[in-house]
Amino acid sequence: MAATQVEVSVGQGPGALPRRRQMSDVAIQRLFILPTMILLIVWNVFPLVYSLYLSFTKYSVIAPDPPEWVGLENYSYILQNEKLWESFATTGKYALLAVGIETVLGFGLALLLRDRFRGSGVLTTLLLIPMMLSPVVVGLFWKLLFNPSFGIVNYLIGFTNPATAPDWLAHPILALWAVVIVDVWMWTPFVMLLCLSGLSAIPDYLYEAAAIDRANSWFQFRRITLPQVAPLLLIAVLFRSIEAFKAFDLVMGLTGGGPGDATEVVSVSLYRIAFQGQLRTGRASALAYIVLIIIIAVSNLYIRYLNRIRGEE
Amino acid sequence: MAAFEHTGPGTPVVESIRVDKVSPRARLLRYIRAAIAIVFAVIALIPVYWMATTAFKSYPDAVAIPPKIVFDPTLEGFVNLLTDRRELSVDEVRAFEANPESRCANVDFAECVARGRGQTITGPSQYVQRLTNSVIIAGGSTILSVAFGLLSAYSFSRFRIPGAGDMLFFILSTRMLPPVVVTIPIFLMYRSLGLHDTHLGLIILYTVFNLSFSVWLLKGFLDEIPREYEEAALVDGYSRLQAFRKVVLPQALTGIAATTVFCLIFAWNEYAFALLLTSDRARTAPPAIPSVLGRGVVEWNTIAAGSLGFLIPVVIITFALRKYLLRGVTFGAIRK
């Protein structure tokens, strides 16, 4: 790369302007990368270290006392607190239901749309709209759709009498389903998009060979389509699972964690501990760390599994 | 002659020529598939349609039982959203009743709509300020994250950097952090730095959050530009920076545009940080829309108007960007 400078002086020729000082490539690299790395370190690594420290202390942002070291107390409190276990269970249930339905629907839609027909491009784009919207606004708006007396959801599924129609968001079980439905509405397009790109990468000759061998379509699906799309489908599931575990905006917009704590997912619990009531910053930091560890662990396991599948191909 | 008319390589082959796909049965299956897909799309778009129409309903129409599909469109919701109003006094109402034409004489359109509901406008609402904040913060952070991202992506794409793989992984991993996990320390940090509830604070934060995304996405786009162009420029006497500006940038424009828009959408939609790190001065629109709910009667048409105004730009962008959606939503982790 040092050759660059020599070439530059040749290019400018002997009669050119007095040679300006050229930045060396190494200087350019540093100058280009440093701002990014500094920003990321200061805004990500520092907070992580700081909240690790806070998670071992008793501290509240509104109290005047400095953080007091309490060791593992916050962690043991969280692990023994049934309500928090419940919020983990709620998150798990929500993630499992939502991601499961999204995978099936998304893959199905991708299969429907893989062969282009007139208008399929526009149709695909229209289907992608929900994914791009602001989750909190979506949650808020679905609140109107779920309204027991003038919401359209109940009318569309056949409950035309407001007196007997279910009140989705006030019902302890239906509320979670309402969140799942909205999540499915929003994120099925994402799975569909990834599956579509997986499907489009399957070479045609595989199907041609299968057709020549008179393989039926179920066999083609089992032996060609599914294994070929699997890696991308699994990536979609991984992304969605992580996102579902982080879910916050949508739940806040739709139910705010209610009724009671029926839809209180981990992020909402964390928010409530950290920023409502007593503002227990230390305890919230410990919970945040537990969430972080779970996410890292699950995605690691998953990525390993994914690599194994890819290796087997 | 007509039979031999040249339709040529100019027209793309849309229909498959595979034998197993031109049989009548295959054709029928295709129609069925298309029909099912259309049904799904219609179901998926009902909520969007409902929101769009509710935005143009009057309050009684918005909460009518049963829900109204046919209604008189009005801009009431938008006027409510953007203005603060007070009720008209009894005398004023009588004056307008006595002389209906005076209601809309010499006043702008918004005031006319408000008077129709027995109210008069006292000034712009808080929402206008929130929206301005959204524009400032989303715009500022997008410019910064694309600029920094472009520089780093260029370095990662063109130079052999020791530890590049680790650095790139680190950059990617920052995106995996749930926002609520890092909010507490950032909240504390911002409080002591005086960045709490400031535009600058949110701009930096969104920049950081978008950086991982913009570095990966732009690196993907830059990797596709052949190095030979630049090398030729270098031989011709351009400096590295000149080559970057005059050769690489113009070719990367589409990639930059796509990245910009994705960053913009993220910053525009962001809710958690905005909720926790701002209170009034720098609060953006997403946390403000739910708070409209808190005040007395839930004016669904107003909320719908707010949502619609907030969503329309994103919908337009979705159409403009459909080619890049896959890359965008997986931030370059997957390449076709």
Q: What is the pLDDT of residues A100-119, one digit of tens each?
A: 999 999 999 999 888 877 78
Q: What is the pLDDT of residue B313?
A: 82
Contact A134 B62 (CB under 8 A): no
The reply to whether B144 and B251 lie within a common domain is yes
Cα–Cα distances in angstroms (integers) from residue B308 to residues A115, A141, B48, in the given order: 33, 10, 9
Strands (E), B64-129: 83-87, 119-124
The reply to whether B202 and B159 lie within a common domain is yes
- What is the domain count for chain B? 3
The reply to whether B50 and B180 lie within a common domain is no
**Cα A31 to chain center, whole Å?**
32
The reply to whether B92 and B179 lie within a common domain is no
Rg (CA), chain B: 27
Residue B75 and residue B56: Cα distance in Å, rounded?
A: 6
Sorted by sequence, the CB contacts under 8 Å of residue B304 that are 6+ apart come out as A141, A144, B51, B52, B54, B55, B57, B62, B77
Residue A230 and residue A305: Cα distance in Å, rounded?
A: 12
Q: Residue B200: pLDDT above 90?
A: yes
CATH of the domain at B294: 1.10.3720.10
Q: How confident is the model at residue A14 (pLDDT cuts 50, 70, 90)?
A: very low
Hey, which residues 18-47 in chain A have their CB within 8 Å of chain B?
A: 20, 22-23, 25, 28-29, 31-33, 35-37, 39-40, 43-44, 46-47
Residues spanned by the domain of A227? 83-312
Type and span of the H or E element at A68 = strand A68-69
Contact B45 A126 (CB under 8 A): yes
Q: What is the DSSP-derived secondary structure letter of residue B84? A: E
- What is the domain count for chain A? 1
Which of A26-40, A151-165, B259-273 has the lowest average pLDDT?
Answer: A151-165
Residue B269 domain flag: yes
φ, ψ for residue A146, nearest 5 deg: -90, -5
Hey, which residues 62-101 in chain A have their CB within 8 Å of chain B?
A: none
Residue B142 and residue B136: Cα distance in Å, rounded?
A: 10
Residue B336 domain flag: no
- pTM of the predicted structure, to 2 decimals: 0.83
Residues of chain A positioned with their CB less than 8 A from the CB of B20: 207, 211
The reply to whether B213 and B320 lie within a common domain is yes
Q: How confident is the model at residue B2 (pLDDT cuts 50, 70, 90)?
A: very low
Closest Cα of chain A to B187: distance in Å? Answer: 9
Q: What is the pLDDT of residue B164?
A: 85
Cα–Cα distances in angstroms (integers) from residue A227 to residues A190, A233, A277, B209, in the given order: 20, 10, 51, 35
The reply to whether B186 and B198 lie within a common domain is yes
Q: Residue B4: pLDDT above 70?
A: no
Query: Cis omega (within 30 of 0) on the bond before A18?
Result: no
Residue B60 domain flag: no
The reply to whether B209 and B260 lie within a common domain is yes
Residue B15 domain flag: no
The reply to whether B89 and B218 lie within a common domain is no
**Is residue B136 within 8 Å of B200, Cβ to Cβ?**
no
Q: What is the pLDDT of residues A242-291, one digit of tens each?
A: 888 888 888 988 888 878 888 889 888 888 888 887 788 888 889 988 88
Residue A273 domain flag: yes
Q: Residue B278: pLDDT above 80?
A: yes
Which of B57, B214, B240, B327 should we substitute to test contact with A (largest number of A Cβ atoms within 10 Å)?
A: B240
Contact B185 A47 (CB under 8 A): yes
Q: What is the pLDDT of residue B333?
A: 57
The reply to whether B185 and B37 lie within a common domain is no
Output A71 or A98, whichever has higher pLDDT: A98
The reply to whether B210 and B171 lie within a common domain is yes
The reply to whether B36 and B183 lie within a common domain is no
Rg (CA), chain A: 27
ipTM over 0.90: no
Strands (E), B29-118: 83-87
Q: Residue A60: pLDDT above 50?
A: yes
Contact B239 A22 (CB under 8 A): yes
Type and span of the H or E element at B198 = none
Residue A39 domain flag: no
Residue B186 and residue A68: Cα distance in Å, rounded?
A: 19
Cα–Cα distances in angstroms (integers) from residue A65 to residues A69, A279, B139, in the given order: 12, 13, 39
Residues spanned by the domain of B226? 127-329
Q: How confident is the model at residue A98 (pLDDT cuts 50, 70, 90)?
A: very high
Contact A28 B155 (CB under 8 A): yes
As a whole number, mean pLDDT of residues B94-98 equals 79
CATH of the domain at A126: 1.10.3720.10
Q: What is the pLDDT of residues B180-198, one digit of tens each?
A: 778 888 888 898 889 889 9
Half-sphere exposure of A52 (CA within 13 A, CB side): 7
Q: Which tokens sit at A16?
A: 């050119």
The reply to whether B216 and B313 lie within a common domain is yes
